[in-house]
């Protein structure tokens, strides 16, 4: 009797989900419409507002209501708050002592909007709202010119405590990443979708003085054991015209720290896979390196403390407009920025609806991959991910960056692939829920071996 009831319930549940999924195949129609709600017009309004503060330097004035970082952060806070009562908007505040490029004691405030999910695990979408401008800008620095310190003044200030209020519009660096983050906070909080993961829309500060806002928040996350699963950081993502005249509005770079098959690399592959499915007109170009040469971004602050984070960067930069008074609204392509926002939305929504990635290591951190049972097979084991109803196995030749094969298996935690030599392939597993939402991949990686010192005896004469 009980068994019959269970079977009936199961069939009904499957029948319902099949009806929904018949429309779009691999794609979730709710994510399709979420991606469609990204508004070029809204991105433009936000960018013009950010530009209107004239400077958002971390060291600028906080007293004016229309100019400087005080006015800017309050506007971002109020704007995020206006979107939905579901969004929990706060200042993530730190008192920072004078050090490095911080020329005086200063209060740093990241602006953070949390959209609570069913579970505490967090997915971040972020940018930095602070700006900097210096004589010559980034193009002079690229050419080996002076002013390595972005806040160096040509004349020492009479008063070291005076605010740094020179014009620094920062519409692309990083108004673009900030506007993208704010726009995603709007569409996610108004989507009506019940996400499993908690989404965090984070506008960092102090990036131009050494990733300070991101470092402080990452340190807090470590201390308070905040379960950050992934960070999609966007910095300089709004311009499609290279300073050398080459135009590319159809691709975006995603930088991911190694080593190969690190969680950040898997996150970049995930963005390519799911961004490419929901936004096929935009090509994601994963970059197997932490960032551009000699340049940095907030995702690295998270990487350094062990978090999984990638950095989105426009494909063709115009250095003349970076860290310069010419970083204005005229340098922005709204259609391009909107495409980058859509890729972020698709990746963040898929991650937040999917189960967390399964663990493929044992308690000692060793990958659960063996040659059992024959001695010549591939046996993969993993730990069940909460909410998963299936798993997708990926593999590729041990030389090469992209997954070549995939296989969907049921709700199991082990698989044998007969006669597959584990030494010849890289294997990974993603968790999949009943509706097809997929996590990023956990790969089977050999941990680096420590070198052991060999005891020797004195040389014989």
Sites of contact with Zn ion (CB under 5 A) = 173-174, 235
Q: How many residues does the chain have?
A: 461
Q: Contact, 394 vs 427, CB < 8 A?
A: yes
Nearer to Zn ion, 236 or 388 (CB): 236
Nearer to Zn ion, 80 or 171 (CB): 171
Shortest Å, Cβ 172 to Zn ion: 9
Find the helix packing angle between 263-278 and 334-353, rounded to 10°: 110
Nearer to Zn ion, 79 or 314 (CB): 314
Shortest Å, Cβ 51 to Zn ion: 15
Opening angle at CA 444, ends 441 and 448, nearest 5:
125
Shortest Å, Cβ 294 to Zn ion: 13
Nearer to Zn ion, 88 or 140 (CB): 140
Report phi then psi at 312, rounded to 5. -85, 135
Shortest Å, Cβ 272 to Zn ion: 23
Shortest Å, Cβ 300 to Zn ion: 12
Q: Contact, 284 vs 206, CB < 8 A?
A: no
Q: Going by C-beta distance under 8 Å and a sequence separation of 6 or more, which residues neighbour residue 36?
A: none
Shortest Å, Cβ 189 to Zn ion: 25
> What's the start-to-end Cα distance of the chain, in Å?
88
Shortest Å, Cβ 151 to Zn ion: 14
Nearer to Zn ion, 28 or 173 (CB): 173
Find the helix packing angle between 29-36 and 334-353, rounded to 10°: 150
Distances (CA, A) of 421 to 299, 361, 426, 429, 460: 36, 19, 10, 17, 46
Measured over all CA atoms, what is the biggest interatomic distance in the chain, rounded to whole angstroms? 88
Nearest to 348 by CA among 159, 195, 203: 195
Q: In what order do the strands lie in the sheet with 369-370?
A: 369-370, 378-381, 414-417
Nearer to Zn ion, 136 or 276 (CB): 136
Nearer to Zn ion, 116 or 242 (CB): 242
């Amino acid at each position: 009797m009980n068994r019959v009831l269970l079977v009936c319930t199961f069939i009904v549940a499957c029948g319902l989900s099949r009806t929904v999924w018949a429309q779009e195949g691999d794609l979730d129609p709710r994510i399709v419409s979420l991606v469609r709600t990204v508004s070029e017009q809204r991105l433009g309004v936000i960018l013009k507002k950010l530009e209107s503060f004239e400077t958002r330097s971390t060291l600028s004035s906080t007293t004016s209501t229309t100019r400087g970082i005080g006015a800017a952060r309050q506007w971002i806070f109020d704007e995020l708050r206006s979107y939905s009562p579901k969004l929990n908007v706060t200042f993530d505040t730190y008192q920072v002592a004078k050090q490095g490029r911080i020329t005086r004691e200063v209060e740093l405030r990241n602006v953070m909007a949390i959209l609570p999910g069913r579970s505490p695990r967090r997915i971040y979408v972020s940018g930095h709202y602070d700006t900097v401008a210096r004589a010559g800008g980034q193009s002079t620095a690229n050419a080996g010119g002076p002013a390595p310190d972005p806040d160096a003044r040509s004349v020492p200030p009479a008063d070291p405590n005076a605010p740094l209020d020179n014009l620094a519009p920062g519409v692309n660096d990083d108004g673009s990443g900030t506007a993208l983050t704010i726009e995603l906070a709007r569409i996610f909080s108004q989507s009506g979708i019940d996400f499993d993961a908690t989404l965090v829309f984070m506008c960092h500060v102090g990036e131009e003085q050494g990733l300070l806002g991101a470092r402080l928040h990452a340190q807090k996350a470590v201390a308070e054991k905040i379960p950050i699963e992934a960070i999609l950081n966007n910095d300089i993502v709004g311009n499609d015209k290279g300073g050398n005249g080459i135009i590319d509005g159809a691709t975006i770079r995603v930088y991911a720290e190694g080593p190969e098959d690190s969680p950040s690399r898997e996150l970049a592959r995930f963005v390519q896979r799911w961004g490419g499915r929901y936004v096929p007109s935009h090509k994601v170009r994963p970059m197997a390196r932490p960032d551009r040469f000699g340049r940095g971004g907030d995702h690295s602050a998270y990487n350094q403390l062990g978090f999984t984070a990638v950095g989105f960067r426009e494909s063709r930069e115009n250095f003349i407009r970076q860290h310069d008074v010419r970083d204005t609204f005229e340098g922005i392509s709204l259609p391009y920025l909107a495409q980058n926002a859509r890729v972020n939305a698709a990746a963040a929504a898929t991650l937040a609806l999917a189960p967390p990635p399964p663990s493929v290591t044992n308690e000692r951190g060793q990958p659960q991959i063996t040659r059992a049972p024959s001695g010549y097979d591939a046996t993969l084991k993993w730990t069940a991910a909460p909410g998963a109803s299936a798993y997708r196995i990926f593999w590729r030749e041990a030389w090469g960056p992209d997954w070549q094969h995939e296989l969907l298996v049921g709700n199991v935690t082990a698989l044998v692939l007969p006669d597959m030599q584990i030494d010849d392939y890289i294997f990974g597993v993603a968790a999949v829920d009943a509706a097809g939402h997929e996590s990023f991949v956990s790969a089977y990686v050999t941990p680096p071996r420590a070198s052991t010192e060999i005891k020797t005896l004195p040389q014989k004469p």
